[in-house]
């Protein structure tokens, strides 16, 4: 028995020697230690960012990117290391970056980041480079120095744009916010964040999608449908290439449309069809402009005049950016005319009540049908017939 016990002790010693490079007996794995060390460095880096201390940032690694970020007002900034892949004196860390824009984000934006690190002469980790994680969108400061312009109801952040151009977007947003509140009500944040990248490619980078998906699209709004009050502010992301082709009214309609998405986000859920969410945003965008249906819906007017009246309201698939420009225009115009008809025949208050009732449904099936019965005292078949007749009356 004594011999076997002695052999067992030798076995423990040998095992410890074999694993010494990976695990200290009774201690933590080396990988865990590296992760903890990297986390400490990123905590120091985050604190330096919030203190706006470039020298302190430099003590944790590369600091040249700070000039790109420095104009952005931050309420919070932190990293959470999720994994570390070490190879000798270098390592790659996967992390979640959480940050808030001061005065706009009521909860942190969370994005995936990858950090390349190296050991310095004293054996401490420092950051060599930070970049978006695979399939994660870029942040605006990844594209260059950010310029910030503040409006009465807006904050505009741009890269590669003149101050005059950014002020023009702030003016558009400042007109859009009161217009949306007048239609929807004041139960929302009543301010917007607008991002203006250098080009279409920059817009695509911020959305984490190919540029071809947004060619010809003037702007999009990011945000989670049905988002609670404690959520990051939606971002209105502009395509400056497409925006430059719009006239004065078109630019205002687009910003008001996108601002409507911000205002209605909490009432827009998986139960809300795109014809309603996009149609309502267009209805608010054109509200009070004096534009006639034929002027605001030229593709649909042409189709109706040619006796090609749509047989049904557009499906979500009809709003895909990869389809034809004409087909996409028909879908938007059809949704707008449906909302315009509700406002004309039942009243604006009923249109708002219908929108909210659809979004309050637990799931998509039955949402429109139940809301039609509850708020407009009609059914989908009769509503569709009325809508088709409305198209003929207003567009033929």
Domains identified in the chain and CATH numbers: 21-136 (3.10.450.50), 139-262 (3.30.2010.30), 269-396 (no CATH)
Longest CA–CA span in the chain (Å) reads 103
pLDDT for residue 30: 52
Contact 46, 38 (CB under 8 A): no
Q: What angle, 0 to 180 degrees and rounded to 10, lies between the N-to-C axes of helices 325-345 and 298-305?
A: 90
Contact 266, 319 (CB under 8 A): no
Query: What b/e string do you get for 272-302 counting C-beta neighbours within 10 Å, with b at 16 or more?
Result: bbbbbbbbbbbbbbbbeeeeebeebbebbbe
pLDDT for residue 225: 63
* Tokens (6 digits) for 281: 């945003």
Q: How far apart are the first and last CA of the chain?
A: 102
Instruction: Encode the chain (396 residues) as per-residue pLDDT tens digits.
Output: 444 444 444 444 333 333 333 343 444 455 568 899 999 999 999 999 999 999 999 999 999 999 999 999 999 999 999 999 999 999 999 999 999 999 999 999 999 999 999 999 889 999 999 999 999 999 999 999 999 999 999 999 999 999 999 999 999 999 999 999 999 999 999 999 999 999 999 999 999 999 988 888 999 999 766 556 667 889 999 999 999 999 999 999 999 999 999 999 999 999 999 999 999 999 999 999 999 999 999 999 999 999 999 999 999 999 987 667 889 999 999 999 999 999 999 999 999 999 999 999 999 999 999 999 999 999 999 999 999 999 999 998
């Amino acid at each position: 028995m004594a011999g076997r016990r002695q052999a067992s002790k030798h076995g423990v010693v040998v095992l410890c020697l074999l694993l010494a490079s990976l695990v200290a007996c009774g201690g933590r794995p080396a990988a865990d230690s590296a992760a903890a060390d990297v986390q400490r460095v990123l905590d120091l880096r985050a604190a330096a960012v919030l203190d706006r201390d470039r020298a302190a940032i430099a003590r944790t690694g590369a600091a040249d990117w700070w000039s790109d970020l420095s104009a952005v007002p931050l309420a919070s900034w932190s990293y959470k290391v999720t994994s570390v892949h070490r190879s000798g004196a270098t390592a790659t860390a996967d992390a979640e970056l959480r940050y808030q824009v001061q005065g706009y984000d009521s909860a942190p934006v969370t994005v995936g980041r990858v950090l390349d690190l190296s050991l310095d002469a004293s054996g401490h980790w420092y950051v060599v480079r930070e970049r978006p994680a695979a399939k994660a969108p870029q942040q605006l400061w990844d594209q260059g120095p950010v310029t910030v312009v503040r409006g009465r109801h807006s904050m505009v952040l741009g890269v590669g744009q003149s101050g005059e151009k950014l002020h023009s977007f702030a003016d558009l947003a400042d007109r859009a916010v009161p217009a949306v509140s007048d239609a929807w009500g004041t139960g929302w944040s009543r301010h917007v964040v607008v991002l203006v990248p250098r080009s279409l490619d920059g817009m695509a980078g911020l959305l984490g999608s190919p540029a071809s998906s947004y060619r010809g699209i003037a702007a999009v709004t990011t945000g989670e449908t049905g988002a609670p009050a404690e959520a990051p502010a939606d971002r209105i992301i502009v395509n400056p290439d497409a925006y430059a082709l719009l006239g004065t009214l078109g630019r205002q309609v687009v910003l008001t449309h996108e601002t409507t998405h911000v205002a209605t986000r909490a009432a827009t859920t998986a139960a809300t069809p795109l014809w309603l969410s996009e149609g309502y945003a267009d209805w608010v965008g054109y509200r009070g402009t004096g534009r006639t249906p034929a002027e605001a819906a030229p593709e649909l007017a042409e189709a109706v005049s040619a006796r090609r009246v749509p047989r049904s309201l557009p499906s979500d698939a009809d709003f895909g950016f990869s389809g034809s420009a004409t087909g996409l225009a028909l879908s938007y115009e059809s949704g707008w005319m449906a909302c315009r008809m509700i406002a004309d025949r039942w009243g604006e208050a009923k249109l708002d009540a219908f929108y909210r009732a659809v979004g309050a449904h637990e799931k998509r099936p039955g949402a429109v049908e139940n809301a039609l019965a509850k708020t407009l005292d009609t059914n989908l078949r009769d509503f569709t017939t009325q809508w088709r007749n409305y198209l003929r009356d207003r567009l033929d």
